[in-house]
RNA sequence: GGCCCGUUGGUCAAACGGCUAAGACACGGCCCUUUCACGGCUGAGAUAAGGGUUCGAUUCCCUUACGGGUCACCA
């Protein structure tokens, strides 16, 4: 392995073709964790060599998201660094220069074959079910022919020259040693006719020039890695350490996708998930810390992260577990912080003046996502229509009939509470319970129903009475009485 | 189809030749309780199939099945 004194450098190299995908975010997270856990540097590079697939503004979303979740990159397009530029479209000259260097070394060559004839060939091969490979038509063009074609302005590409003989191999930290026959590899295009490099080439040149020591990326690149290794060898360079990670799936056979609306980081924020919970959850998808601890802050992840815990097989995204984890984060917050973060959602659900701190406290243990809040509070502004069936409670042995005579006593008990505080309300109602010689629930259950019109509310009758205030509480109880006597 | 990779409960996963195969989510039951949650206890549930190697295979090898990736002037 590498020496201890080497500085580890990892990178995240997304294409700005869409918003921040959770799979991409996880790859970035692993690259960040690995670098930081080894006192190394984490680099961001934008791979925008495909002119047609660019989506305006998405690079900015990438910067913003990484920063927001705490994956602070040491070098990158918007922060600079010693190996810039960090945007591939600004490095065109570098790729051409290196492609020519490779030609001189015999590992690449000009190819003037037209796109149409190549497509045709491919179709023929496909039809006859023969595996398709470029036929090296241009590999032995004479220097004169090349000069002539170039001076005529014939469109061309530069291809990697892969020997038909021999084998390549590399050791992946996750998948182990992978051996491939050169004969299965194609003379792939490394520089396109528009002058832009292909991923397979730019990637190698940039990783080398940026001093990347550990390449952490999705395992869809496992098959093309042998070609990358051959490029490194062609240049006379030592390949980096490879760490390929399995994909995140939506179902066993489908990846997380934009189409299903379950792929983007931003969507989850909108749905009320906390960024800390998202990071914690995706860290655990495809990687295991080994022990039984499941809640990790980012610094704790840096501390715990280890390549040996990365799984080889795909992981299915389980929203239920994310829900639970998000709930854990919510419950772990102190009351003040939860109140602050819940406030916008509380205001969305409740327009009247209320004790939002009290509401927040009641909500904290009851929700898994902040977006559940408005729905939980819908009874506060206006009492919903409800059926007297709600008074039926098996355990408390209550129903509409048994509750009817109790309701007025609840009203009068509460009327006498002058200081509308939790203790006072509690005391008054308990006194009533004692006086009636019944169970707590035989008073409190009907109170809840009368005040909320619901069987399930955050907090019980006493808390709701407190939230609604004395006047509204009494109004609703009287309304309940009327309804019962109708 | 060629090449590469993978397969432990419904899901995430531990175990790197010694197991009664952890733990978490989800699910069921019980307790707590004025509801629902939270919390506590508890239950059910897995090594894809078949062959080897071995005193002993989830762990090593082979075959089959299933799944994924890749075979672009996409990344």
Number of neighbouring beta carbons within 10 Å of residue A101: 15
Of A residues 17-76, those with CB within 7 angstroms of nucleic strand B are 47, 49-50, 53
pLDDT at A126: 76
- Spanning CA of A252 to C1' of B55, the rounded length in angstroms is 39
Nucleotides of B under 7 A from a protein CB: 1-8, 10-16, 22-26, 33-39, 67-75
Torsion-angle region of residue A87: left (phi > 0), alpha (psi -120 to 50) or beta? beta
Residue-wise pLDDT tens digits, A151-167: 999 999 999 999 999 99
Residue nearest to nucleotide B12 (CA to C1'): A285
The answer to whether the C-beta of A318 is closer than 7 A to strand B is yes
pLDDT at A3: 44
pLDDT at A1: 41
Identified catalytic residue from A2, A258, A312, A321: A258
Angle formed by the axes of helices A356-364 and A335-349, nearest 10°: 110
Concatenated DSSP letters for A461-475?
Answer: HHHHHHHH-HHHHHH
The two tokens of residue A47 are 């791979």
Of A residues 134-153, those with CB within 7 angstroms of nucleic strand B are none
Per-residue pLDDT of chain A (486 residues; tens, 9 = 90+): 444 557 999 999 999 998 999 999 999 999 999 999 999 999 999 999 988 888 999 999 999 999 999 999 999 999 999 998 999 999 999 999 999 999 999 999 999 998 888 888 888 877 777 778 899 999 999 999 999 999 999 999 999 999 999 999 999 999 999 999 999 999 999 999 999 999 999 999 999 999 999 999 999 999 999 999 999 999 999 999 999 999 999 998 888 877 666 789 999 999 999 999 999 999 999 999 988 999 999 999 999 999 999 999 999 999 999 999 999 999 999 999 999 999 999 999 999 999 999 999 999 999 999 999 999 999 999 999 999 999 998 888 899 999 999 999 999 999 999 999 999 999 999 999 999 989 899 999 999 999 999 999 999 999 999 999 999 999 999 999 999 987
Of A residues 359-418, those with CB within 7 angstroms of nucleic strand B are 365-366, 393, 395-396
Residue nearest to nucleotide B22 (CA to C1'): A292
The answer to whether the C-beta of A315 is closer than 7 A to strand B is yes
The answer to whether the C-beta of A131 is closer than 7 A to strand B is yes
What is the C-alpha end-to-end distance of chain A, expressed in Å?
84
How many angstroms separate the CA atoms of A162 and A200, rounded? 14
Of A residues 261-280, those with CB within 7 angstroms of nucleic strand B are none
DSSP state at residue A33: H
- Spanning CA of A89 to C1' of B37, the rounded length in angstroms is 53
The answer to whether the C-beta of A182 is closer than 7 A to strand B is no
pLDDT at A2: 41
Question: Of the candidates A289, A235, A287, A269, which has an alpha carbon nearest to the alpha carbon of residue A100?
Answer: A235
- Spanning CA of A398 to C1' of B28, the rounded length in angstroms is 28
Report the nucleotide nearest the CA of residue A367, measured to C1'.
B37
Cα distances (angstroms) measured from residue A303 to each of A4, A75, A140, A295: 18, 22, 54, 13
Question: Of the candidates A259, A261, A305, which has an alpha carbon nearest to the alpha carbon of residue A282?
Answer: A305
The dihedral over CA atoms of A149, A152, A155, A159, expressed in degrees to the nearest 10, equals 30
Residue-wise pLDDT tens digits, A216-254: 999 999 999 999 999 999 999 999 999 999 999 999 888
- Spanning CA of A323 to C1' of B40, the rounded length in angstroms is 21
pLDDT at A121: 83
A227 is catalytic: no
The answer to whether the C-beta of A196 is closer than 7 A to strand B is yes
Residue-wise pLDDT tens digits, A7-63: 999 999 999 998 999 999 999 999 999 999 999 999 999 999 988 888 999 999 999
The answer to whether the C-beta of A455 is closer than 7 A to strand B is yes
Residue-wise pLDDT tens digits, A85-109: 999 999 999 999 999 999 999 999 9
- Spanning CA of A260 to C1' of B25, the rounded length in angstroms is 22
Q: What size, in residues, is chain A?
A: 486
- Spanning CA of A110 to C1' of B41, the rounded length in angstroms is 73
- Spanning CA of A257 to C1' of B68, the rounded length in angstroms is 15
């Amino acid at each position: 392995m590498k020496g201890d004194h080497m500085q580890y450098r990892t990178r995240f190299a997304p294409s700005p073709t869409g918003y921040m995908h959770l799979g991409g975010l996880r790859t970035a997270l692993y690259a960040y964790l690995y670098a930081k856990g080894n006192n190394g540097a984490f680099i961001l590079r934008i791979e925008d060599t495909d002119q047609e697939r660019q989506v305006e503004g998405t690079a900015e979303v990438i910067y913003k998201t990484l920063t927001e979740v705490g994956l602070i990159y040491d070098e990158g397009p918007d922060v600079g660094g010693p190996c810039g530029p960090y945007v591939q479209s600004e490095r065109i000259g570098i790729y051409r220069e290196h492609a020519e260097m490779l030609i001189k070394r015999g590992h690449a060559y000009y190819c003037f074959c037209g796109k149409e004839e190549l497509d045709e060939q491919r179709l023929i091969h496909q039809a006859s079910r023969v595996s398709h490979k470029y036929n090296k038509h241009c590999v032995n063009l004479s220097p004169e022919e090349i000069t002539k074609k170039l001076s005529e302005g014939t469109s061309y590409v530069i291809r990697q020259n892969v020997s038909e003989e021999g084998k390549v191999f590399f050791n992946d930290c996750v998948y182990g040693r992978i051996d491939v026959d050169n004969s299965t590899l194609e003379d792939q295009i490394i520089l396109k006719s528009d002058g832009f490099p292909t991923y397979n080439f730019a990637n190698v040149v940039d990783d080398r020039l940026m001093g990347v020591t550990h390449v952490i990326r999705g395992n869809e690149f496992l098959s093309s890695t042998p070609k990358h290794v051959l490029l490194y060898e062609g240049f006379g360079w030592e390949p980096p350490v490879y760490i390929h990670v399995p994909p995140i799936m939506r179902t066993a056979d489908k990846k997380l996708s934009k189409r299903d609306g379950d792929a983007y980081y931003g969507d989850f924020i909108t749905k009320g998930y906390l960024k800390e919970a998202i990071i914690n959850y995706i860290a655990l998808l495809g990687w295991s810390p080994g022990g039984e601890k499941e809640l990790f802050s980012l610094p704790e992840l840096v501390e715990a992260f280890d390549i040996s815990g990365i799984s080889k097989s795909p992981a299915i995204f389980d929203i239920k577990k994310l829900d639970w984890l998000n709930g854990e984060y919510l419950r772990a917050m102190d009351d003040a912080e939860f109140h602050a973060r819940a406030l916008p959602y509380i205001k969305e659900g409740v327009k009247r003046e209320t004790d939002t701190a009290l509401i927040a406290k009641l909500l904290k243990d009851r929700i898994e996502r902040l977006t559940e809040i408005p729905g939980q509070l819908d009874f506060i502004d206006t009492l919903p229509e409800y059926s007297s069936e709600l008074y039926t409670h098996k355990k408390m042995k209550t129903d509409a009939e048994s509750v009817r005579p109790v309701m007025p006593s609840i009203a009068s008990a509460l009327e006498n509470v002058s200081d509308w505080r939790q203790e006072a309300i509690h005391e008054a109602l308990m006194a009533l319970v004692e006086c009636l010689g019944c169970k707590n629930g035989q008073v409190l259950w009907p109170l809840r129903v009368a005040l909320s019109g619901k069987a399930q509310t955050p907090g019980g009758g006493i808390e709701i009475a407190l939230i609604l205030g004395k006047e509204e509480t009494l109004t609703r109880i009287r309304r309940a009485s009327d309804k019962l006597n109708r």
